[in-house]
Amino acid sequence: MAADDTAAHGPQFEVDPVVLELGRRFAEAGFELSLVGGPVRDLFLGRTSPDLDFTTDATPDETLSVVKGWADAHWDIGREFGTIGLRKGRHQIEVTTYRAEAYDSASRKPEVAFGTSLEADLGRRDFSMNAMALRLPSLTLVDPFGGLADLRAGILRTPGTPELSFSDDPLRMMRAARFASQLRVGVAPEVRAAMAGMAERITIVSAERVRDELVKLVNGAEPRTGIDLLVETGLAEHVIPEVPALRLEADEHHRHKDVYHHSLTVLEQAAELETGPDGAVPGPDFVLRFAALMHDVGKPATRRFEPGGGVTFRHHDVVGSKLVKKRMKALRFDNDTIKAVARLVELHMRFYGYGEAGWSDSAVRRYVTDAGPLLERLHRLTRSDVTTRNQRKADRLAFAYDDLERRIAELAEQEELASIRPDLDGQQIMAILGVRPGPLVGRAYKFLLEERMEHGPASEEEARERLLAWWAQQPESASAAESVESKEH
């Protein structure tokens, strides 16, 4: 489709009035302005973009002069890249001067040069479906690279050669996998080939930028498709190498399932168990999804072939948790997210002891306490981990987990399972034992917590008796008694 040949007026467009208003302001000031990129693509998809991106021939200073007095707020943190940020009502807006940017082969920072035309600006964008613009205020579609046709065909292509596009910004390779997940689109063969040939270039991109694309991919509509593309092109070897490592060679007896495809299925099933906004685990939930993807990454390091032909992965949950922490730290995730994902990976095998032998009330309490605020996610991860084709086995595991959840609910009615504490606090412990703050109080507190876990809630008098019985067995108790006796004599 040639540039400037389609008037985009019509019922398929419901452009927010603020878009036309801003377009008129720039036109009256003698500048060009176009809505560009994702917001234009989303118009054709019938979606509303949360942010509005514009491009213009105005310089950043000229943009500021145009929006002064109109925008509710503005900031120029991206001025060196030609971008001015605005807020107008509920809208977050970015206006960027026409530009061209390229990455030096050894640099993580883009080299920015301002451009002179809309068509040239569109030519430097990542994919053709994002290289469309609406000239304002006329709402004329500008689509020099066939983005609308590609969008309708569901195929991801680049405006120029993919090699040139990915050389300009290697993160675009990650973005291709993200769009495959988010938009359910395929990737053109030449784009896939370039991703495979240039995968190592992703290493010059900052960990933070890679992380952000990975989160969007995992939270997409079809995360399996995006992850599979990363693995098949070799990008995953540089971003999340633990995932392609799951493609274990099958043992000669084929007695263990494909861990890689199993993990992708668990990811899909976990996403299906997410809830609506008011539910226990509103989706998309990155912590649950990433834990599902990574839950078995400890298996390659723990795989052992047994004499009878069997295969074991002992302690892969603990090993996997450590690997997840290391990888997420390298990708600059925040500590809370790292701890949550790693904890779910560590706990994902815990339930199987219940399914095999049943648990005491004490074990149920420990399960809830160890999961803490992750309990609802752990429920979903554990259920998602069942991918067997043996329906009888699947039904047995589902029945066992139903029973565990029932028992948790019953105990929760009787006790405060979500915040189990000893029946005596630190002040009471010190008063009963006649001791000052110190490590001894911590040991006593831990003992009472174990008693609470093992036997359930007790009255204050019962707890006092148990504490005194414990105290009688402690070396400090004997020392205190000897001291009293020596003073009496």
Helix (H) or strand (E) run with residue 8 in it: none
pLDDT of residue 79: 85
> Cα(349)–Cα(268) distance, rounded to whole angstroms?
19
Amino acid (one-letter) located at 100: A
Vertex 81, ends 75 and 87: CA angle to 5°?
25
Query: pLDDT at position 240, please?
Result: 98
Long-range Cβ pairs for the range 141-146 (8 Å, 24+) = 141/1, 141/5, 141/6, 141/7, 141/8, 141/40, 142/3, 142/4, 142/34, 142/118, 143/1, 143/3, 143/6, 144/1, 144/2, 144/3, 144/119, 146/1
Which residues are registered as beta bridge partners of 305? 311
The residues, any chain, with a CB within 8 Å of residue 473's CB and separated by 6 or more, are none
Contact 258, 244 (CB under 8 A): no
User: What does residue 288 show for φ and ψ, rounded to 5 degrees?
Assistant: -65, -45
Q: How does pLDDT run across 259-289, given as a tens digit for each residue?
A: 999 999 999 999 999 999 999 999 999 999 9
Residue-wise pLDDT for 14-50, tens only, equals 788 999 999 999 999 999 999 999 999 999 998 888 7
Segments in the chain below pLDDT 70: 1-13, 100-112, 249-257, 355-357, 414-420, 478-489
Task: Please compute Rg for the chain using Cα positions.
Answer: 30
Q: What letter represents residue 204's amino acid?
A: I
Q: How many CB atoms are located within 10 Å of the residue 326 CB?
A: 13
Residues 6+ apart with CB under 8 A from 200: 234, 238
Could you give the CA distance from residue 243 to residue 291 in angstroms, rounded to a whole number? Answer: 12
Collapsing DSSP to helix, strand or coil, 54 comes out as strand
Residue with tokens 């008129």: 24
